[in-house]
Amino acid sequence: MYRLTIRTRAGNATTIAVALLILIGLALPAVAPRSAIQDLFFILTMLTLAQLWNLLAGYGGLISVGQQAFVGIGAYAMFAGVILLGWNPVVAILFGGLAAFLLAIPFAYLAFRLQGAYFAIGTWVLAEVTRLLVAQWKTLGGGTGTSLPREATSAILGTDTIRALFGVRDAAARDILAYWLALVLVVAVTGGIYWLLRSRLGLALAAVRDNVDAAGSVGVDTGRLKWAVFLIAAVATGLTGGLVFMQTARISPDAAFALTDWTAYVIFIVVIGGIGTIEGPVIGVLVLFALRAALADYGSWYLMTLGVLAIAVMLFAPKGLWGLISARTGLHLFPVRRRLTGPKIEGGN
């Protein structure tokens, strides 16, 4: 007599629109100039990081400011795979994910002893420790960093085909490959999170976010859930790190473990767009990209503008831009709400 529905018309429309966008995105390198592909690469990788931070903070309640540790370790592991083991960079990206997983275990073990603001500071400290340790790694350039060898960058899996297909040079072919991989990664990560939220784990995550004690009192294993979310986010963040630095082909501890690039911007994206929603980071990354393009020549004014904007949104629209839109229109592009339909329920049919 009673039924559970998650599907909505808007949700179905989104699925179709996203499928179309993916197809267009795959075909885009045929017509788009190299600079547009590079911009899109930035947008897609930042969106991936933002979705992952949103999973941690917006759904898991884990406010980490140490995610740059996983970007960095993923990037360095990718470089190690290429330079020390002679692997193809694309394969070495997977090694980056593995390294992030291995780092995440002691990282979480230590950080989970702390709560709230202490957890946030703890993750930051752990990320700094990781950076300092990696900077001691002389074979990978120590504190000054190193570059991918030319033989490796020109022989990346699939670039031959891309060169032949689009008639472009080595460097442009590498950009196109990186862009495609970024597209696959962002779809896999966003799709994975969407699936997670619609599974029973999504309910558990929301319960833990709203009230940890009450979640435990209805049988949710809150400790295991935190571990699972943290490990998933770490692995995917490591993969993203490997990919980003495959594209730049140059690495240094300061760049790979940059708090501003890999965590501060990411938090900005999530806060501006709307924390705890899948739509929020999508809007947030577009805002960040527009601001970056408009204010690129103004140096530190750029960062100050970001800061002021973030504070204004936190004060006046704590649910972000998507929160405003959603409240006005009642729209949810990625519905995760379980509705009970049946007799005697208000709006139930």
Partner 1 sequence: MILRLENVSKSFGALKVTDAVSVDVPRGEALGIIGPNGAGKSTLFNLITGNLLPNAGRIEFLGRDVTRTPAMERVRMGVGRSFQIPQPFEGLTVFENLLTAATFGRGGREAEMVEDCAAILEETELLKKANLVAGTLSLLDRKRLELARAMATGPELLLLDEIAGGLTEGECRALVATIRRIHAKGTTIIWIEHVLHALNAVVERLLVLDFGRVIGIGAPDAIMASKEVREIYLGLEV
How many angstroms separate the CA atoms of 138 and 21, rounded? Answer: 44
Instruction: Select the span of 2-10, 16-24, 248-256, 280-288 touching partner 1 (CB under 8 A).
Output: 2-10
The yes or no reply on residue 104 touching partner 1 (CB under 8 A) is no
Question: Considering only residues 30, 296, 344, 349, which one is a binding residue for partner 1 as defined by CB under 8 A?
Answer: 344
The yes or no reply on residue 218 touching partner 1 (CB under 8 A) is yes
Question: Considering only residues 19, 85, 164, 345, which one is a binding residue for partner 1 as defined by CB under 8 A?
Answer: 345
The yes or no reply on residue 307 touching partner 1 (CB under 8 A) is no
How many angstroms separate the CA atoms of 16 and 288, rounded? Answer: 26
The yes or no reply on residue 116 touching partner 1 (CB under 8 A) is no
The yes or no reply on residue 1 touching partner 1 (CB under 8 A) is yes
The identity of residue 234, as a single letter, is: A
In the numeric block, which tokens belong to residue 43? 């947008």
Whichever of 167 and 343 has its CB closer to partner 1, that residue is: 343
The yes or no reply on residue 347 touching partner 1 (CB under 8 A) is yes
Q: Which residue has the tokens 């969106």?
A: 47
Question: Considering only residues 63, 94, 168, 203, which one is a binding residue for partner 1 as defined by CB under 8 A?
Answer: 203
CA dihedral of 284, 254, 256, 92, whole degrees rounded to 10: 170
Question: Considering only residues 111, 172, 215, 278, which one is a binding residue for partner 1 as defined by CB under 8 A?
Answer: 215
Question: Considering only residues 200, 297, 315, 328, which one is a binding residue for partner 1 as defined by CB under 8 A?
Answer: 200
How many angstroms separate the CA atoms of 231 and 297, rounded? Answer: 38
How many angstroms separate the CA atoms of 11 and 333, rounded? Answer: 5
Q: Which residue has the tokens 């350039």?
A: 141
Q: Residues 229-268 vs partner 1: string with x where CB under 8 A? A: ----------------------------------------
Question: Considering only residues 138, 213, 297, 330, which one is a binding residue for partner 1 as defined by CB under 8 A?
Answer: 213
The yes or no reply on residue 9 touching partner 1 (CB under 8 A) is no
Q: Which residue has the tokens 């947030």?
A: 284
How many angstroms separate the CA atoms of 305 and 308, rounded? Answer: 5
The identity of residue 180, as a single letter, is: W
Residue 108: which of 235, 10, 210, 206 has the closest Cα?
235
How many angstroms separate the CA atoms of 272 and 320, rounded? Answer: 5
Instruction: Select the span of 16-24, 128-136, 150-158, 204-212 touching partner 1 (CB under 8 A).
Output: 204-212
DSSP assignment, residue 59? I
Residue 146 · residue 79 · CB < 8 Å = yes
The yes or no reply on residue 115 touching partner 1 (CB under 8 A) is no
The yes or no reply on residue 278 touching partner 1 (CB under 8 A) is no
Q: Which residue has the tokens 């501003």?
A: 260
The yes or no reply on residue 299 touching partner 1 (CB under 8 A) is no
Whichever of 34 and 339 has its CB closer to partner 1, that residue is: 339
- At 163 the three-state DSSP class reads helix
Question: Considering only residues 36, 155, 188, 214, which one is a binding residue for partner 1 as defined by CB under 8 A?
Answer: 214
DSSP assignment, residue 157? T
Where does this chain bind partner 1 (CB under 8 A)? 1-4, 200, 203-204, 206-207, 209-211, 213-222, 276, 337-340, 342, 344-348
